[in-house]
Structure 1
């Protein structure tokens, strides 16, 4: 069975592709965003995207916001994706704001979802309206970025929403905006609008 399967699919960056058509056969992030993973629990989901914590958070708060639609990398984005990117930005900002305000200044490294002590998911209406009307004192510590090919870890587009400080020097380098390996959300949106 294993030999038969390997003759039908190829695996590249967490995604199985059919060898004959290069179409997606199976994708780790597709399974996560559709709630089919016990390892990565969803923190937030709507009809366009889902949010979860990566296995190795790089900062005090680190979320991945992934479109439900399978888009491989930032290189596949078009102007038609601008509304999706704007929505993803709103979700990322909302979630970082509420969690950064709830987090104490001495927050321990982020634990995986079952033991994470702050609320998850869609905010209630009062909190949501407050977050939309004001900026957070922590906004200057937020980073929104994508890893650019070939530096992306998986072939399913995902935005890193990060609240600094980073856990170590390597993480600060890995998520440095507008380097060859890492593009800010604003940079990607600006390029698509050109």
Structure 2
């Protein structure tokens, strides 16, 4: 995504933080919205009201905010009567949008918006940093370490392996058909 488009997406996300009509839940410190391009049946974004561009801008001073955002993520599942164990919580290591956002995504990955290998691998490889891992790294090191471009490319080219079993698909349509069986 080019820089001009990233700036527009960031402005759009910050506008969404201010647009009460888009909120699934809201608090003094953050909001939950439905992802506009969900990659699963249920896909929410938890955004802080504070302008924090990415995970790489976080410091130990943000640990309390992260705790609150995580609780907001759990709250949205309770409000929607969804099971915690059906979801994963995390951040992209190579974010496409410039505003910190915690993904709360169901592990079915059934969605018309899930179209590319990049979509799949951004949630099902080390490109997706689980909330607990990010929190622990930030607490221990005071920052989140970036991964290099070579590693990002390698992870994006990883085989399309099912997140429930050992099946490896040769393309996205075959993976999507397979996912329905779970």
TM-score surpassing 0.5? yes
Q: Which residue of 1 aligns with 2:80?
A: 99
TM-score under structure 1 length normalisation: 0.61
Pairing 1:163–2:147 present:
no
* Equivalent residues of 1:59, 1:164 under 8 A apart: yes
Larger Cα Rg: Structure 1 or Structure 2?
A: 1
1:61–1:100: 8 Å Cα contact kept in structure 2? no
- The correspondence of residues 74-93 of structure 1 with structure 2, limited to 5 A, is 74-93=55-74
SS in structure 2 at match of 1:166: coil
Residue in structure 2 matched with residue 147 of structure 1 by the alignment: 92
Moved over 4 A (4+): 168-172
Tell me the distance in 2 between the aligned counterparts of 1:187 and 1:145. 9
Q: Distance in 2 between matches of 1:183 and 1:144?
A: 8
User: For structure 1, which runs of at least 5 residues remain unmatched after alignment?
Assistant: 1-9, 17-25, 102-137
Q: CA RMSD in A?
A: 2.3
Cα-to-partner distance string for 1:124-174 (whole Å, 9 max, x where unaligned) = xxxxxxxxxxxxxx32221001111xx212110001011221116755533
Distance 2:87 2:79 in 1: 12
Greater strand content: 1
Secondary structure of 2:124's match?
A: coil
Distance apart, 1:57 and its partner CA: 1.1
Q: CA deviation at 1:78?
A: 0.4
Normalised by the size of structure 2, how large is the TM-score?
A: 0.65
Task: Quote how far apart the aligned CAs of 1:66 are.
Answer: 0.4
Name structure 2 gaps, 5 residues minimum.
141-182
| Partner of residue 13 from structure 1, selected from 2, 6, 11 | 6
